[in-house]
Structure 1
Amino acid sequence: MVVNIDIKEGFLNATRRPDNLGERAIVDALVTALLERDPRFADGNAIDDVVKAIVRSDNARHFHAFAVPQLRDFVKTDLPDSAQIIEQMDDANGRLGLGWLCRHRSDGSHIQGLNDCKDYLRKLVDALIGVFLDHLATFDRASLVEAMLRNQEAVFSEMDLWKRTFGAILASSDETSLATNSAIMRIGRLNGASMASRTVIEAAVCASPVEGGHVPGEYDLSQLMALASMIHHMGGYSEAMTAGIMPPEIKISSAGEVMMQHEFSEDVVRPFGEFLQTKSLKDAASSYIENYTSPNVRSEAAEAEEPSEDEKKFEAAWLAEYAFSLDNLRDFLSGFRAILEKDGKAVLPFSSSKLVSRLQSETGMEDESIAACMRLFTYQPRDIWNSSPDGFTNVSWFPWRFRRQLSIVSRPIIQITKEEEAEYLIAPAMVITSIAKFVADARTGGFDQKFFSENGPMFRWTGYISDRLGEAFNVDVAEKFLQIGWKAMSNLSDGQILGREKDPRFGDVDVLAWNERQSKVLIIECKDLSFDKTIGEIAWRLSKYQGEVKAGGKRDNLRRHLDRCEVIESNLGQLSNFVGFFVQSCERILLLSQSTPLQFAKITEKHNVRVVTFSEIADLFGLS
């Protein structure tokens, strides 16, 4: 039996609709043609039932014509068909013999103690870097950097596609958990490829020859990425041991594999990563229909809105630090946006003069403003990749750290050569997204103060806004509890709560919430935390919440909260006077602005403290 379906001109416009009317019509035509002669389906409703069983949701579809283009849509046809990820075989091969790169077999295969483990991992990372640099020295710099930039763009394009279409994937799947797990696994491998690609680019700009090297193939790229990933992980494990989160014990197998106790990774790092990816995918699925609606355009009134005092302070600090304004930067980014849309290329070569000329023609910017923007956001060649030059922190080049000064995330304009008329490789989409994120993070205190010049305008701004946002978060938490029927106050001293002279060691209770009907008080420590991404970052975060007294008698963040709770719990009479009823129970709460690894650590079990996020307040504490 042959079924012919006649599709009229303009049918593909249906793919622009937020529902799947077009694909449903094709399924309907196929089912009707196949079943209309079967007496069991003589009733048209029966055919409709079959169609509904196949197309179970308006979101189930295979064709997508999004109304809202993303940056990498403009270069889609210029990207590789698929992103190069780290092949499992290359990763496995890299582990064989790894443990003996910096250690003689006669020294033994068992290493114990923090100092010995740190010393071994430092030597191992140095040895890996040596192998990595030797490989890089065989490839042509421009060819390798361009290949890795194109791969980076392909990675982000594929991740964007997964998230934009995940609503349709779920609607088309019989097993949503399987669909989610498949997406998480693929996006996880893409994230690993992105991290490794960035590291290869950063090192190649410094270590690969400008002339005389080979053009890398896919196998070469995978090998380099596997080495970069190994350096990233070993450096992270060293930091996790230093933070006291991973046990300081290493064993080297007979095959040379470096083995450590990975409960930290299995219990915290991996579940946290999977949780974030699941949440991201669910959010993408719930907003799937927005891909088919026109983007909101800010009104002239909104554009003319008077900036807040904090926005004015931030703009002043930015101008004083970098000698160009945020308006200059907006023009600068609009120039790269024009290059992206007009040229349609994922990666473009420019000489310095041609790049400046092109930005001038697209934006009308002055030379000085362009030069100032370029200085801040250009990643330049250095004689030694694995060393920080003057003016940068020692960890600025560490590939196992994020939010660092010598990174193509912070400096996404890639300079290939050192001469005055230098050569550049530009990935416009990466430049736009990276700089936009840099500004957003700087505005909200997302960087460590050490990222900026000590005591400089941006250093001071970061300290100011971090304190301000922390206090504002306390107020927001108290307000949220008021909205759901509790009484609450923020930023209270022990003097206020217990009716006594203030004790400097006590500090402040971020939020105290109470409910007379339950005769209950919540003692809440609020933390407006940024996302932790690397093994080292997660380890350092957890090390601050072990409920311990560190060397020199310094209490960690959780210990200070627990001490405050113990003081209040031992003075229930005074607490009852403060809240106006007899308090029968207190609960210790660590309340976070967003999901963090702390939710996956066993803090609750160890210290009788409940870890909650802001978005969970109404569900967990709402009064029925």
Structure 2
Amino acid sequence: MTDRLDADAWEALFAATPASLRPASTFDAVAGLERRLSLLEPIETAAMLAGLQTDPSFGSNSVRLDMAMRLVLTCAQGDVRPTRDKLYRLLNRDLVDCGINQLEDPPEDFFVTIAATRRGPYRLFQGVWEKAAAFTEDVFEAFGHLPPSPWSSEAFDRAYALLALSDLLADRAGLTDRVTAEDESSAKLDLPRKRNLARIAKRCLVSWTDLARLDVSECDLAPFILGSTTGTNIRDAEPGDSELERLPLMAFAEGILVVAPHNLSIAARAHLIEEAVAHGEADRLCFLLLNTQSERISIAGFARMWDLPTQKIGGHPVRQTIWASSVGRPIHLLQIVDGFEGVPPARFGVIEDSQSLENVVSRSIAFVQEQMRKRPDFREGLSIVLVGGWGRAGSLSLPLSDEPDWDVIALEPEDAATICLAGRGGGKPMDLWRLSKQLRLVEAQGFRIEHTNGWLNLFALWRETRRTLIPEHEVGFQPPASFHYPTDLLLEVRGDAARRHNRNAMPLPDGRFEIVSRFDRGDFFDADKPSFVSTTGLGRGEMLGLVVGRRPVWLQIVPDSGSDRAFDTHETWRAAIHWLEVGLPAFDTAYPDLDQDPVLITLAIEWPPDRLKRPVDNVAIDAAISITLDRDVRTARLDLGPAWQHGLHRADNHAELSLASALLSIVSALAGGRVDRADLYALMQEVVGSDDIRWRHSFAADRPLMLLKAHGLISTFEEVPESASALVRCGSTFLSRPRSAGPRIEGADDCFVFLMAQHGALTERLLETIAEYDRTALVELALSRLVSALAEDQSWTLSARALRAIHGAEKDFERSLSRRSEINGVIRGASIVVEMAASEAPLSSGRPIGQADVDELLAQALLLFQTAELIPPIRAGFIEPELQISPTGDILYDHAFTRSALVPSVHARHSEARQDADRAYRSHFDRAAEQGPLDRAFEAAVVAEYGIPFDAFTALSGACAELAVAAKTAAPRLRRSELVGAIAALPGYEDIDPAAAIDRLTLPARRGWKTLPSGLGASDFDVSRFDRHFSLIARPIVALDADEDSLLLVSPPLMERSALHNLAGAMQGTLQGKFWTSPAMRVFVGAAAEKMGLDFNQRVAEHIRALGLTSFPSTKVTDALHHKGTDAVKRLGDIDVLALSADGHHAWVIEAKDIRFCRTLGETSSRLSEYRGQTDSRGRRDKLRKHLDRVEYVRAHRIDLAQRYDLEEPPAVHGLVVFESPQPMAFVPSHPSTDARFVMLGDLNGLDWAPRM
């Protein structure tokens, strides 16, 4: 990304570029060229050039090859046979001399790709034409919906004949779908040797016999054959305006020659359009083209356009809607298509702007602007104009508002679809709006991005630069400056989109073809699966899926109308598709002699009246599956009875395996086989090799999160959009530091001063933004996002066993870790926003808020958190005190510390978590599991802390979940008195006053975020610190005002999370000090921490003992050495574990620490600071220094140690630190001493307990 041509280089490049692409201009520019070419034999020469156009090696030279063909067709009429040397001179000298090669670009699209049509898939050569396959698909689909007639049928047959020719040429060239060309743009063409050139020349010669095999007649191709008088037209016309686009064939005695393979698809389009215009169907075809491109936009997920009504404005069919992800920020979506003005003939060159089209667009945008600006809540707006068509080049002058509050973006439907698909959910209208804003911010900084050439190009640049537009590490690149970015970015974007879309056409049993797309685009595992969903079926409101093995196996679902089980129905259909993916390859291998024709299965589900019941046995599950076959039409119906659903409540996968074997038995029967279901069940068991592989997970909804999810009260999880993060980062450092101060900050003090100033500036910006919105609405939306993240985390946890079985532990680790990062981002960002908004957002007069606003607030909150994260490790010296400012104003720093200290710990901890979730899976089905008796002291401490009995406290979140279900909201809004009364009225709380617990769990509202209550400091509200006593984890009920009877927002899942976290922290002694309010709980926690430490010492000692050593837990130095307990000895502290090798030659002084996993950079640097092995200026030793001193003392008195334990000789003394959870000290050496070795408990088996000295 550093290739930036200077202005002189660009001027030289433009000067070398020809002004015209008319062959006549080329003849004028190259003396003698026309005379030389006129001597060549036309058929042979054209065949050679045509053949080269089917070779991907020359795909980036399409402009030269196309011009060469035009020159030959214009004047070649002799009998001189073409040779390799003659072609070489033409392509590498003549066309280079006149600058034609300067028009060649690196490949921007596939050289060959599939056009999916209702008669099947056809491979097309796209050549010089933009989006040729997409336009061909759209025109063919639209034309196919015209009323049936003899003329339309004949036109369709002729157009399809051209597609059949294209497919034949691709087959001869050995080209499949999505073939990319090599990047040899502007370079010399390395032509094949003579023999290979002759072979390639035959590729485009198609005999009449070959055509007959294709069921193509001479009559079908007659409209597309060049006549003897077309040379003059080609000579004087620009590409796109010549007859060659409509007439890509030449006839000769034995058949036809395809002279322009890349023109076959546009000739087919031109023919259909001209026929429709000639028969008075232009308006209808234009309307149908709008419908087709609406489907393309909708299927990609960009915007739901296909169910909008169509208007006719100014003679153009139009679809438009106004959508707002946030109140006051409307997005106006306007879809329109280029009509057929000037047809016939259908030309593909640049035309004059359509004034009527521009008028419609301008008037529509102006009307919407006027109406939206009248609204009192209006802030800003966007119009996205989706300008469709049929491939004709042109431009559209958009009305640009003088006001900064309205933006306009123009896109072609295929580009919109590509951006959305390649963006993986991050290329939707709001994302483009943010990208537009980011571009304006970058330009306002003084940068000029040259030659963006459309939004798809800009989106490609945005991706390539990691969402910064200007490469971030080019810190010396400062404005004012122009950035000329690479021109080879489009292919990657289009490739990603095509792989995610995987559009194709597949046959049904009745011979019809369905247009299909990739089944599971949201698959986190990016598996290349042979499964599809019918996009035309989606347009009809049908769920019609497909898995392709030796034969296409279709699976459709009977709609579950009028039921609340639509989600379950959809998930069961998805599970059946996945089982076909798994089972069909093995089935096809085991039974290779069955026929390969398509089959269609209809799945019908009868749901039980209850959601959960006792699990059923295998016999009942199998009996609940019934099959009805219709072999004549190769279809079947599979009915799932209620008992099958009950089978999902078991810990094994028998219900799903039974379904899979039933599906395969249908395939067998319809394909002519007679395989027993029991044999197929055994085959599936062998294939999966585990009873853990499953796609349906059904648990009792007995926890608040599950209960609210079962009632549809929890929204779908959405990660923080990259577009929001990119926008809030752009220019963020200039909030606290002007660009003139330079892009580098060096030295610990200067870095600290800058980071503190930046932290303050980001805090101010976030608070100012929060202060714009209504408090209640903002807190509710942010809480909703937080709870959805908890639900997503739970979903991944519960499916860990199945995902590890399906994809393998390594792949599961990679994908689940990535998702976990996204989940944590929302949890952290939403928690910060809730805490701040509860005190800073206005109670009244605040504006309404929407999801897009919350996205940007979450992005701001995360940036604030990440900035705060840098301060501790830089202050402690773990990160090099050298910061850089990117050209567009973001902080850059050395990530080595993160990679070495935090990342390994995070990876180790996540791996443990996935293994734990795997092992715990079956426990979710064991309702008989009971907890052992609790420590009475712990129960008493909980009562002292929360003011209600232990059982009442642990059930409190469940009680509030009942209130939420009754209120039909995930977070009811209640006054304190109302909540106390509602809980007191529930069973189990009749004689309990929950007021004290409610107060203890309430996060109080303050007069403002910066207003600190008496006795509290800024650190109590530092949002970068976890486990604060004034945070959502400690106080999950949010007070929305500071009234005595305050208005509370009650989220049962947050209450449950808080209870689980806090009770575990109390029992383990990890939450101490100010986190608790009662002296009794503080005393208990202190004792628990001490007990946990002693228990861990015991566990370490037992583990070591099992390795054959002698070990002594919690040993005093005085006991180990028989020394007196002097003050100096007492200051050494106890030896957590003393271990002696079996031969007595080695003694180990072990520090055992069951300390918490570090979750952030701040915690990591703090932990490392405790284990540096240092003594501070006040004589205080850190934890490692104390350990090292103990080891040295024992080593100095090893004779005493030998006498104490009756050893034959003084042992070699070693030091070791053992811990339970992954710690950064294991990955970042903190001290050179060999006694400062850090090992996890689980790794002790591999330790050399008798090292050589």
* TM score, norm. by length of structure 1: 0.89
Q: Determine helix, strand or coil for the equivalent of 1:6.
A: strand
Deviates more, 1:48-57 or 1:181-190: 48-57
Change (3 A) 1:40 1:124: same
Identical columns (%): 25
The Cα of 1:132 is off from its aligned counterpart by: 0.5
- Where does residue 833 of structure 2 map in the other structure? 200
Query: Which aligned pairs between 1:212-361 and structure 2 lie closer than 5 A?
Result: 212-297=845-930, 308=935, 311-312=936-937, 314=938, 326=950, 329-330=953-954, 332-333=956-957, 335-340=959-964, 342-343=966-967, 345-361=969-985
- Where does residue 1115 of structure 2 map in the other structure? 492
The Cα of 1:78 is off from its aligned counterpart by: 3.1
Q: Which amino acid aligns with 1:158?
A: E
Distance 1:71 1:295 in 2: 20
Distance 1:561 1:52 in 2: 54
Aligned length: 612
Deviates more, 1:228-237 or 1:466-475: 466-475
The Cα of 1:38 is off from its aligned counterpart by: 7.3
Whether contact under 8 Å (2:1188, 2:1235) holds in the other structure is no
Whether contact under 8 Å (1:78, 1:346) holds in the other structure is no
- Where does residue 434 of structure 1 map in the other structure? 1058
Q: Determine helix, strand or coil for the equivalent of 1:17.
A: coil
Query: Which aligned pairs between 1:515-594 and structure 2 lie closer than 5 A?
Result: 515-517=1141-1143, 519-581=1145-1207, 582-594=1209-1221
Q: Determine helix, strand or coil for the equivalent of 1:395.
A: helix
Change (3 A) 1:593 1:276: closer
- Where does residue 388 of structure 1 map in the other structure? 1012
Distance 2:1010 2:719 in 1: 24
Q: Determine helix, strand or coil for the equivalent of 1:78.
A: coil
Q: 1:448 aligns with which of 1045, 1054, 1072?
A: 1072
- Where does residue 89 of structure 1 map in the other structure? 723
Q: Deviations over 1:450-476 (max 9, x none)?
A: 4346x9444444434333432343234
Q: Deviations over 1:18-50 (max 9, x none)?
A: 222222122212323334687999799985675
Whether contact under 8 Å (1:547, 1:558) holds in the other structure is yes
Deviates more, 1:406-415 or 1:435-444: 435-444
Higher helix share: 1
Distance 1:186 1:334 in 2: 28
Whether contact under 8 Å (2:1221, 2:1240) holds in the other structure is yes
Change (3 A) 1:323 1:159: closer
The Cα of 1:242 is off from its aligned counterpart by: 2.7
Whether contact under 8 Å (2:1034, 2:1075) holds in the other structure is no
Distance 2:650 2:1085 in 1: 45
Q: 1:413 aligns with which of 1032, 1037, 1041?
A: 1037
Change (3 A) 1:208 1:43: closer
Q: Determine helix, strand or coil for the equivalent of 2:777.
A: helix
Change (3 A) 1:253 1:563: same
Change (3 A) 1:392 1:329: farther
Whether contact under 8 Å (1:136, 1:204) holds in the other structure is yes
Distance 2:827 2:1117 in 1: 49
Whether contact under 8 Å (1:83, 1:158) holds in the other structure is yes
Q: What is the Cα-based RMSD across aligned positions, in Å? A: 3.1
Q: Which ranges in structure 1 are unaligned for 5 or more consecutive residues?
A: none
Q: Deviations over 1:515-561 (max 9, x none)?
A: 22373222100112123322212210111011222232322111221
Distance 2:1084 2:919 in 1: 36
Change (3 A) 1:588 1:397: same
Alignment of 1:9 onto 2:632: no
- Where does residue 663 of structure 2 map in the other structure? 30
Change (3 A) 1:549 1:235: same
Whether contact under 8 Å (1:24, 1:55) holds in the other structure is no
The Cα of 1:237 is off from its aligned counterpart by: 1.2
Q: 1:162 aligns with which of 784, 796, 802?
A: 796
Alignment of 1:110 onto 2:733: no
Change (3 A) 1:388 1:607: farther
Q: 1:210 aligns with which of 838, 843, 863?
A: 843
Deviates more, 1:78-87 or 1:351-360: 78-87
Q: Which ranges in structure 2 are unaligned for 5 or more consecutive residues?
A: 1-598, 600-633
Q: Deviations over 1:350-398 (max 9, x none)?
A: 1223212101111575899433222211112112214532232431111
Q: Deviations over 1:75-112 (max 9, x none)?
A: 11434552132112222222222222111233333323
Q: Determine helix, strand or coil for the equivalent of 1:396.
A: helix
The Cα of 1:333 is off from its aligned counterpart by: 4.6
The Cα of 1:250 is off from its aligned counterpart by: 1.9
The Cα of 1:154 is off from its aligned counterpart by: 0.9
Whether contact under 8 Å (1:510, 1:526) holds in the other structure is yes
Distance 2:659 2:963 in 1: 39
Q: Of the two structures, which has the highest relative contact order with CA contacts closer than 8 Å and spacing of 6 or more? A: 1
Change (3 A) 1:429 1:622: farther
Alignment of 1:140 onto 2:774: yes
Whether contact under 8 Å (1:356, 1:367) holds in the other structure is no
- Where does residue 1093 of structure 2 map in the other structure? 470
Alignment of 1:185 onto 2:185: no
Q: Which amino acid aligns with 1:520?
A: H
Q: Which amino acid aligns with 1:57?
A: S
Q: Deviations over 1:36-66 (max 9, x none)?
A: 6879997999856753454432111112222
Q: Which amino acid aligns with 1:474?
A: N
Distance 2:1112 2:775 in 1: 59
Whether contact under 8 Å (2:975, 2:1047) holds in the other structure is yes
Q: Determine helix, strand or coil for the equivalent of 1:500.
A: coil
Q: Which amino acid aligns with 2:736?
A: C
Change (3 A) 1:518 1:417: same
The Cα of 1:71 is off from its aligned counterpart by: 2.5
Whether contact under 8 Å (2:884, 2:891) holds in the other structure is yes
Deviates more, 1:324-333 or 1:528-537: 324-333
Distance 2:1075 2:678 in 1: 66
Q: Determine helix, strand or coil for the equivalent of 2:814.
A: helix
Deviates more, 1:136-145 or 1:101-110: 101-110
Q: Deviations over 1:97-129 (max 9, x none)?
A: 222211123333332333322221111111001
Q: Determine helix, strand or coil for the equivalent of 1:491.
A: strand
* TM score, norm. by length of structure 2: 0.46
Distance 2:1104 2:809 in 1: 35
The Cα of 1:246 is off from its aligned counterpart by: 2.4
Q: Determine helix, strand or coil for the equivalent of 2:953.
A: helix
Distance 2:992 2:652 in 1: 50
Whether contact under 8 Å (1:336, 1:428) holds in the other structure is yes
The Cα of 1:157 is off from its aligned counterpart by: 0.8
Distance 2:1076 2:1045 in 1: 29
Query: Which aligned pairs between 1:1-80 and structure 2 lie closer than 5 A?
Result: 1=599, 2-10=634-642, 11-35=644-668, 47=680, 50-52=683-685, 54-67=687-700, 69-76=702-709, 77-80=711-714
Distance 1:605 1:7 in 2: 69
Alignment of 1:599 onto 2:1232: no
Change (3 A) 1:33 1:615: same
Change (3 A) 1:451 1:28: closer
- Greater gyration radius: 2
Q: Deviations over 1:472-516 (max 9, x none)?
A: 432343344334432222333433333433424433222101122
Distance 1:211 1:354 in 2: 22
